[in-house]
Structure 1
Amino acid sequence: DKPPVLTPKKQEEEKMPAPQQEYSAGIVFVIDASLSMDEYISRTREAVMKIYDQLGDRGQLGKVSFGLVAYRDNTGAVPGLDYVARTYVSLEEGQNPGVFLQKVESLKAAQVSSKDFREDAYAGLREAIENMDWGEHEARYVVLITDAGAREGDDPLSSTHLSTDSVRQLALDNGVAIFVLHLLTPSEMADHEAAAAQYRRLSDFPGIGSLYYGVPTGDLKEFGLVVDSLSQQITDQVAQGADTQETPAQTATGEPAEAPQPQVPGQLAELQGKVAKLGYALRMQYLQRREGKVPRVFNAWMVDRDLRDPRRRTVDVRVLLTRDQLSDLQGILKQVLERAEEGLLSPQNFLDELKSLAATVSRNPEALGTTTATTAGEGSSLADMGLIGDYIEGLPYRGEVMELSLEDWQNWPARRQIEFLRGLEEKITYYQALHDNTDLWISLDGGPVDGDSVFPLALDMLP
């Protein structure tokens, strides 16, 4: 017998398996464990224990799980730091308050100073994002607590070689929202303005905004207020998700309707509003999955930028790639960069190679590994065939590579050219991290993850 044909109406009514687990949250604190951070470590521990007590009173222990990762800096530069990043409490262990307290007791701030004021914060974030077992937690949060800027991917002392944008994308790929509590402690070495800009970009969540909070002078009392508020609000959202199966209430404008909050400072009130929106979105996603309706597919035009602020995106555009295609993409970029650094490609050929690669991936991922001169031999790239102009014109989006002209490249100073190449190197590192994280890949046939498994790669992460 032939399988039944699903009409559009039947497709809408077709049910997907509903998730069996209850709504839960995982919160991982990533703490700067460098010199003089002991009091903030203690205050974070106090906030978590308060939440455990409340969860116990509600009979909801296990609905919110806490983890803790500590990070310092490059141990090669300063061996006395002992480690770069270390998990003290996993999310599984953090379901039990006794285990959490026992594990975190051993966490102490470093006894020696780092090489400079920056720390390897992205090592701690990567540890939390990739090595924690987030399991079936619908809500996934990482809270970065630091008083120093993070080492970027091009910093010789960086252990991850990931840029701010790459770490942010890695978190989004894993469904993790990053909060940053930035302690603006007085210090002659501190570069708080640059670090604040860095962390605002890192914590920018699509449709919500930046989940950043700067604590003036590193005030311990205000820091405690923010940690308590953030943990409490997330816990309340989980309790709401567990106690009722009804759709969350909304205001007339479609915003989540929450219980009135006590009067708090303006910056904290703004953060609470964003947490409310984020929690509402995550819970709606959970309810939609539980109801199991197949989403309707449609064709339409839409604006991908905010009309009032064109710098803001309104949609997250992605390109569906297989694992093999991502591996090919990384391999091609490595070859192009190696040749550029060795001086084996002329400036014109170098740019044509990159543009050809970017256009190929955006329009036809199947052609990866077969259309560039670095892999297919001299004269086989789109640029060499005289087709690259037409190929780019057909794309609805342009990346940094495709916007670059030979004139721009030649007019750039050497420093700008090096920055451009470093950006590509950071993408190569990101591709490797994404390739190795098998939990993110989807096998369309339901089998184990292999080269044909797919992942929606963010358009911004293309070269």
Structure 2
Amino acid sequence: MRHLALCFCMTFFFVLGGTHTSVAQTKTPLLIPGKTTLFERVLTRPGAKLAATAGAPGTEAIPAFTPLFVYARTPGANGQPGFLQVGTDAKGKITGFIAEDATIPWQHALVLAFTERANRDRVLFFKDQQPLLDWLNDKDVAAKAAEARQEIDSGKLPPASPIVSIEPEVPVDFEKNFYMLPILEAQNRRLATGFQVRTVKVASVTKNADAAPVEQLRRRVNPSALENFRAGVVFVIDASSSMQPYIDRTREAMDGVLKQVEQAGLADKVRFGLVAYRDDPTKVKGMEYLTKTFADPNSIRSDKDFETATQDVKASKDSTRAYAEDGYAGIDKALSGVDWKGFGARFIVMITDASSREGNSPLSSTKMNTDQIRQLAQSQGTAIYTLHLKTASGAKDHATAEAQYKSLTQYPGVGSLYYPVEAGNPDAFKSTVQQLAEALVKQVADAQKAIAQPGDEPAPAAKTSKGAPTIDQSASQVGRAMALAYLGREAGAEAPSMFEAWASDRDFAHPDIAPFSVRVLLTKNQLSDLQRTLQTTVDALEAAQVDPGDLFNQLRSAAAAVGRDPSKIGQGQAKNLEATGLMGEYLDGLPFESQIMTLSQDDWTAMSVGEQQAIIDGINSKIRLYQRYHDDTTHWVALNPGDDPGDTVFPVPLESLP
């Protein structure tokens, strides 16, 4: 019966209800040993109950995985478990006592979120770490995992199996149904093959852990739920002076595609829009606009609508300020200026003959670099395609643009959605636009077929001669992942029932694919502190460019400015930026490779001015990204009812940290 834990009747993350009696206190929680600002926290286990005094019987049930601050510890008598005095915030709001063995320590607010399932299988969870390691070192691990999934789906998993749970078949929408997969432990391991993986011990909980487990285990994807699945495709087109032939070909290609869409009765299933970008009209005479939405997919219902809306899209008569254009302003406009809520599949198709200005360019309006723009798109469930016109006039820019757009268009589990048009041939370009548009339409029309047999994971996308997936294959792979994510949202798929188990952060069959996205839950106060600290750090680094040997003196001033202890810096205790304590303690011990935390005085002195500037530019770009997080009202989560706005948390991707 142990394997009934395999049920995945997923639920919303439940938190401590508002019925508890709270007594205002002036106490503060216990500090984590060795820390000066981080308090001890725990998560409750299923069945945990709140008591009025230490040792008294618990009378009030607390939802599993409620996060609580620890205010005091009372040892248990005669070897019995002790009790914790707990509260819902760090401001003295004490709620009572709870048995210590009814909690799980949670020192790092680090969680895992399932990634979109393109080219990967469902994650298997193991009761113990060693069987997982044994599987990882088995050359037949992919076949073993496939067999285990079949046994799970048929209800025939052997009692002796080391597997205790599996990722739900219907994907969980982390953005809509916030759920907790806290990391309790993480270890990096090198396999016999030489490949390095991270094994993680996680825990999770659901609302209905005891409800109809066998039926939940066998729950399958229902293709008919895709009846209202719709796709939005927005072209983001460079409207600088060299682009008129390609603007014309885009219109011509879309005229044919939209006629086919109408004839197939898909006019309400797939909508197209268009955003154009030029340059800052306040800086360049005759530009008219920086970005402009000519066609909103929510308003375009026919080929005539699209033709009418886009008839005024024309290349500018005047040249922009540099060969690299402000393309990321166009993408940002499409992401923020279009209401995507009604679209289960979301695509941006960028069309340009030039690279885009990175955040360090004085001409960039977004002040964000390629990585941040990609992360913004992925956080909104949007895939970016780029059609790069390799014209003769841009030969010197081709390599820069290609590297940039291959990074911009990376889609989890699929790869790059970058497609060059050699020599910038207008007719070849028209054919490519038509092929891509038709492929995106087809993935919506065939969505029910694509997920009708959800246990059969798709084969890796076919590749072009240069190693990228073909347009048809990438559209199919991305479309299937988006359709599954849509089903998860519509079905209210939720997180797994309560368990603690081990999993690999790499797919068994495709170890280059990560099944988890790692997030750190930063409070609004912490994110503001991080943004302010990074700005102060940038000021110090810029000052240290004048005198590289003065870096740690500048950091000492920066520490004082943000309320840190400046005496730790440059006094023999600090060898690099991490050891200075300048950054908040909430970053301590997180499993990520920082770009700047290991920076030492010697490193800085040995760098060229260009290398120093690259570090500064990278930090500035992250500052801009954090401002976007701060302003994003849809993703802030209150872990407890009545949380102060400054205590709400944002699930920041680990790769977004400095």
Question: Residue 169 of structure 1 aligns to which amino acid in structure 2?
Answer: Q
In the aligned structure 2, how far is the partner of 1:163 from the partner of 1:410? 25
What SS does the corresponding residue of 1:299 show, helix, strand or coil? Answer: strand
> Quick check: 1:130–1:437 contact (8 Å CA) kept in 2?
no
Say which one has the larger Rg: 2
Q: What's the secondary structure of 1:316's corresponding residue?
A: strand
Alpha-carbon distance, 1:51 to partner = 3.1
Counterparts of 1:268 and 1:51, CA distance in 2: 24
Is contact 2:235-2:350 (8 Å) kept?
yes
Is 2:415 the partner of 1:215? Answer: no
Task: Provide the residue aligned with 1:302 in structure 2.
Answer: 504
Structure 1 unaligned spans of 5+: 355-371
Report the secondary structure of 2:211's partner residue: helix
Contact 2:416 2:468 in 1 (8 A): no
Query: How far did 1:324 drift?
Result: 3.8
Q: Which amino acid is 2:356 matched to?
A: A
Quote the residue 1:277 is aligned against: 477
Distance 2:644 2:289 in 1: 32
Output the CA distance in 1 between the equivalents of 2:644 and 2:565. 34
Candidates 191, 200, 209, aligned match of 1:8: 209
Which of 507, 510, 534 is the aligned partner of 1:333?
534
* TM-fit CA distance, 1:328: 2.7
Of the three residues 459, 481, 487, the one matched with 1:287 is: 487
In structure 2, the residue matched to 1:117 is 323
Kindly state the Cα deviation for residue 56 of structure 1 after the two structures are TM-superposed. Answer: 2.1
Change in CA separation of 1:79 and 1:160 when aligned onto 2, cut-off 3 Å: same
1:408 is the counterpart of 2:603: yes
Matched, 1:456 2:651: yes
Correspondence for 1:248: 452
One-letter amino acid of the structure 2 residue matched with residue 399 of structure 1: S
Of the candidates 58, 62, 79, which is equivalent to residue 285 of structure 2? 79
Partner of 2:261: 55
Paired residue secondary structure (1:179): strand
Does 1:88 pair with 2:288? no
Are 2:236 and 2:274, in contact at CA under 8 Å, matched by a contact in 1? yes
Written as runs of structure 1 = structure 2, the 5 A alignment for 1:95-110 is 95-110=301-316
The whole-number CA distance in structure 1 between the counterparts of 2:226 and 2:417 is 30
Kindly state the Cα deviation for residue 64 of structure 1 after the two structures are TM-superposed.
Answer: 1.2
| Contact 1:203–1:211 under 8 Å retained in 2 | yes
Residue 154 of structure 2: aligned partner: none
Question: What is the deviation of 1:72?
Answer: 1.2
SS at 1:278 equivalent: helix
Distance of aligned partners of 1:81 and 1:142 in 2 relative to their CA distance in 1, 3 Å threshold: same
> Match of 1:196, SS?
helix
Q: 1:307 to 1:290 in 2, by over 3 A?
A: closer
Matched residue of 2:300: which SS? helix
Please give the residue correspondences for 1:14-413 in structure 2 after superposition, counting only pairs within 5 Å: 22-187=228-393, 190-241=396-447, 244=448, 247-249=451-453, 254-255=457-458, 270-296=470-496, 299-303=501-505, 315-342=516-543, 346-348=550-552, 373-379=560-566, 394-413=589-608
The number of aligned residues is: 436
Aligned partners of 1:25 and 1:65 also within 8 Å? yes
Q: Give distance in 1, aligned partners of 2:511 and 2:329.
A: 33
Residues 317-342 of structure 1: per-residue CA shift (max 9 Å, x gap):
22122344323321222223234435
How far off its partner does 1:347 sit?
1.9
Give the deviation of 1:432 after TM superposition.
Answer: 1.6
* Structure 1 pair 62–203 and aligned structure 2 pair: CA distance change class (3 A): same
- Residues in 1 aligned to 2:62 and 2:534: alpha-carbon distance in whole angstroms: 45
TM-score, length-normalised on structure 2? 0.58
Q: CA deviation at 1:191?
A: 1.3
Contact 1:323 1:454 survives alignment (8 Å): yes
Instruction: Give the match for residue 426 of structure 1.
Output: 621
Task: Select the structure with the greater relative contact order (CA < 8 A; seq sep ≥ 6).
Answer: 2
Q: Residues 414 and 46 of structure 1: is their aligned pair in 2 closer, same or farther, counting only changes over 3 Å?
A: same
Deviation per CA, 1:352-392: give whole Å up to 9, x if none: 899xxxxxxxxxxxxxxxxx643225448799896965988
Deviations 1:397-419 (A, max 9, x none): 22112232332122112321122
Could you tell which deviates more after superposition, 224-233 or 176-185? 224-233
Report SS of the residue matched to 2:271. strand
Amino acid at match of 1:299: A
What is the alpha-carbon distance in structure 1 between the residues aligned to residue 568 and residue 266 of structure 2? 60
Shift of 1:447: 9.9
**Aligned partners of 1:440 and 1:293: how far apart in 2?**
18
Task: Name the CA shift for 1:304/1:325 in 2 (closer, same or farther; >3 Å).
Answer: farther
Which one-letter code corresponds to 1:300 in the other structure? Answer: W
Q: In the alignment, what sits opposite 2:630?
A: 435
Identical amino acids, percent of aligned pairs: 34
The structure with the greater share of residues assigned to strand is: 2
Asked if 1 retains the 8 angstrom alpha-carbon contact of 2:278 and 2:326, the reply is: yes
* Change in 2 beyond 3 A, CA 1:108/1:188: closer
With structure 1 as the length reference, what TM-score do the two structures score?
Answer: 0.81
CA distance in 1, matches of 2:301, 2:555: 52
CA-based RMSD of the aligned residues comes to: 4.0
Distance 1:139-1:88 versus aligned 2 partners, 3 A rule? same
Q: Is the 8 A contact 2:552 2:569 kept in 1?
A: no
Aligned partners of 1:322 and 1:245: how far apart in 2? 42
Q: Which moved more, 1:140-149 or 1:292-301?
A: 292-301
- Whether the aligned pair in 1 keeps the contact of 2:262 and 2:302 (CA below 8 Å) is no
Please list the CA deviations of residues 412-434 of structure 1 after superposition, one character each: whole Å capped at 9, or x if unmatched. 12321122112111111122223
The range that moved more, 93-102 or 167-176, is: 93-102
Helix, strand or coil for the counterpart of 2:349?
strand
Q: Residues 59-118 of structure 1, C-alpha deviation per residue, up to 9 Å, x if partnerless?
A: 332221211100112435432222211111112222454332211111111112223322
Instruction: Return the letter of the residue paired with 1:271.
Output: I
8 Å CA contact 1:123, 1:159 repeated in 2: yes
Deviation at 1:221, TM superposition (A): 2.2
How many angstroms apart in 1 are the aligned matches of 2:380 and 2:570?
36
**Is the 8 Å Cα contact of residues 256 and 277 (structure 1) preserved in structure 2?**
no
* Aligned equivalents of 2:347, 2:307: Cα separation in 1: 20
Aligned equivalents of 1:97, 1:284: Cα separation in 2: 29
Relative distance call for 1:11 and 1:445 in structure 2 (3 A) is farther
Deviations 1:196-247 (A, max 9, x none): 1111111111211000001011112221222112111211221233xx4983
Cα gap change, 1:324/1:377 in structure 2, threshold over 3 Å: closer, same or farther? closer
Per the alignment, in what secondary structure is the counterpart of residue 402 of structure 1? coil
**Letter paired with 1:248:** A
Find the aligned partners of 1:187 and 1:41 in 2 and give their Cα distance. Answer: 18
